Amino acid sequence: DGGITQSPKYLFRKEGQNVTLSCEQNLNHDAMYWYRQDPGQGLRLIYYSQIVNDFQKGDIAEGYSVSREKKESFPLTVTSAQKNPTAFYLCASSSGQGYGYTFGSGTRLTVV
């Protein structure tokens, strides 16, 4: 079955530590995206990648970093520079034709 997998589902991090969220897709999609959801804020774009080895900043990229070494994988690192990292993080992918995204099931990150 084709899909997009985010792991882990829940993640706890101590303040000052970096943490990496995994996102893998087997849909053969070229484009991948990271969003953050906070209550009342909707979905805010962190980073996106339209092709391997290339990515662009979204609206709220500060304190985050990504890599796109393989088509299937787009990991997101939440660094200690991110001021309010506690949130629900969503990864998505698309074929790049504007027909919409397929989302993963999300990772809830809590800083303790």
Partner 1 sequence: DQQVKQNSPSLSVQEGRISILNCDYTNSMFDYFLWYKKYPAEGPTFLISISSIKDKNEDGRFTVFLNKSAKHLSLHIVPSQPGDSAVYFCAASAMYRDDKIIFGKGTRLHILP
The residues of the shown chain that bind partner 1, judged by CB under 8 A, are 6, 31, 35, 40-43, 45, 48, 50, 88, 90, 92, 94, 96-106, 108
Instruction: Please identify, using beta-carbon distances, which residue of 82 and 94 lies nearer to partner 1.
Output: 94
Provide the minimum distance between the beta carbon of 13 and partner 1 in the complex, in angstroms, as a whole number: 18
Q: Is residue 37 classed exposed, middle or buried when 0-12, 13-18 and 19+ CB atoms within 10 A define those classes?
A: middle
Provide the minimum distance between the beta carbon of 15 and partner 1 in the complex, in angstroms, as a whole number: 23
Instruction: Please identify, using beta-carbon distances, which residue of 35 and 74 lies nearer to partner 1.
Output: 35
User: Buried b vs exposed e over 52-79: b needs ≥16 C-beta within 10 Å?
Assistant: eeebeebebbeebbbebeebbebbbebe
